[in-house]
Amino acid sequence: MFRSLWFRLVGTLVAVIAVALVVVTFSASLITARQFGLYTIRGGQVWANQLVPVLADRYRQDGGWQNAQEVLLNPWQGATITGRHFGPIGQMMTLDAGQTQPVEPDADMWSAMNIHLVLADGSGTVVADTQNDALSGKPIPPDMVGQGTPVISAGQRVGTLVVLANAPRPIISRPPDNFLFTTGRSVLLAALAAGAVGVVLGTILFRRITQPLSELQKAAETVESGQLAARVPVKSRDEIGMVAEAFNQMTARLERQQQLRKQRGGDIAHELRTPLSVMQGTIEAMLDGVLKPNKTELRNLHAETRRLTRMVEELRTLSLADEGQLRLEMIEVDPAGLVEQVTHAMRSIAKERNIQLTAEVDRRLPVLHADSDRLAEVLGNLIGNALRYAPDGGRVTVSAHSGGGNVILSVSDNGPGIPKEDLPLVFERFWRGDKSRSRGSGGSGIGLAIVKQLVELHGGKVSVDSTLGEGTVFRVSLPVDGPKVA
């Protein structure tokens, strides 16, 4: 289970979400603390502007800052301010003109508002601090004094009121009712909720991804056990769906090849058994004295021997081509001359069958870089196949022309044609269009397979077009420069 793709995907998602949660929570906490600090500094500056007149007045009354700490902690104790006053937590309230109201602010209001104020005298030494006298008696940097609000008394600067930023403390150490703690907890809970939703949705999504892969794995195991009929359902058109479709096509080809291999074995046995049976029967009859050795019987035996030899040679050619060990003797070949040569050699067979065999060639064809003997074998097989299926008094035409940088050789006949469903099979070994023909008249079924192998070795392509009742055309397209070397 722990090695499954689904588990690894979900584990990766959880790890990514966890890292994202930590980063988001930490970043949000820092940003919130920083912005809150800026907010409190701005609020403290507003208070500083309000406190400066009170501090200046107290300085004039006392003649110094001896009561500065008490004044800063509770600047309006016993004081009356006309027109405005501050509530228990320092909230400014406006009164009607001419009204006065005593102010009794809360002594902890600075801590409640998270405002840190320090009062420095003329020399920059802290004389009062709203945070328990923590900085009293210590100097503050000149740049910080320059940013503070000056306290003016009798036209002279007697002090500076500075707003300091509180050093942020960890949120979890704050009281539960603290703003930053509450905000951080809300961010954390929201991030955890988003992460949980992400894990649930990711798990569902990954299940949809891994389920077809599981089905594909089971189908592959079924094929491995020898059951090539296994298929997987194609549920989408994405990459996984394309893999499933490719797997189905692969298993279909494997199943077909297995069927052809079984059929091929039976065909080979049948092809060899027929002439061997004829030869065996003839020889046994001669040995028994039933038949006398004469020219006719010996001629028949010789024909069967030649057929066996030709079939063995064809099978050997196919085997060498399959193994990539069939070597071509590449030379410059005149395609027009080759077509006329092979056509001329086949005219005697055409004449015996009362078939008109003609050649139509373009004398301006470019020279091919090819194996002359193998191309002659290709044309001979195609013409021989056409002669076998052309009707009595029919015609077979061999042509050669150029197009698209290739030389195109074609052999056409006006025979019965090939059914559309059989066209993909014509180049399979031991396939014959007319199953009723004998092996002697219908051929061994290897010739077209050899044609395909030899043409592809030359870097070309062979195709077939056929119409029932009208005839068939085989086309061979060969590159002028010969096969490309990988």
Residues 243-287: tens digit of each pLDDT:
888 888 888 888 877 776 776 666 667 667 777 887 888 888 888
Q: List, in order of start, the domains of the chain with CATH numbers.
A: 5-172 (3.30.450), 239-322 (1.10.287.130), 331-479 (3.30.565.10)
pLDDT at res. 416: 92
Q: How far apart are CA 56 and CA 58, in angstroms?
A: 5
The residue ranking higher by pLDDT, 484 or 162, is 162
CB contact set of 185 (below 8 Å; sequence gap of 6+): 171
Q: Identify residue 200 by its one-letter amino acid code.
A: V
- DSSP letter string, 234-249: ---SSHHHHHHHHHHH
Closest to 377 (Cα-Cα) out of 480, 433, 319, 449: 449
The residue written with tokens 């502007």 in the block is 49
Q: Give per-residue pLDDT as tens, 187-222.
A: 778 878 887 887 788 777 777 777 777 788 888 888
Q: How far apart are CA 370 and CA 140, in angstroms?
A: 97
Please compute Rg for the chain using Cα positions. 51
Residue 359 backbone dihedrals phi, psi, to 5 degrees: -120, 135
pLDDT at res. 82: 42
CA distances for 146 relative to 40, 159, 281, 356, angstroms: 19, 11, 126, 115
pLDDT at res. 485: 52
pLDDT at res. 182: 74
Q: How far apart are CA 85 and CA 73, in angstroms?
A: 16
3-state secondary structure of 293: coil
The pLDDT of residue 327 is above 50: yes
Q: Residue 263: is it exposed, middle or buried by C-beta count within 10 angstroms (0-12/13-18/19+)? A: middle
Q: What's the mean pLDDT in 384-406? A: 91
Q: How far apart are CA 33 and CA 170, in angstroms?
A: 10
Q: Give per-residue pLDDT as tens, 50-106.
A: 888 888 888 888 888 888 888 777 776 645 444 444 443 334 444 444 444 444 444
Q: Quick one: which H or E segment has residue 203?
A: helix 179-224
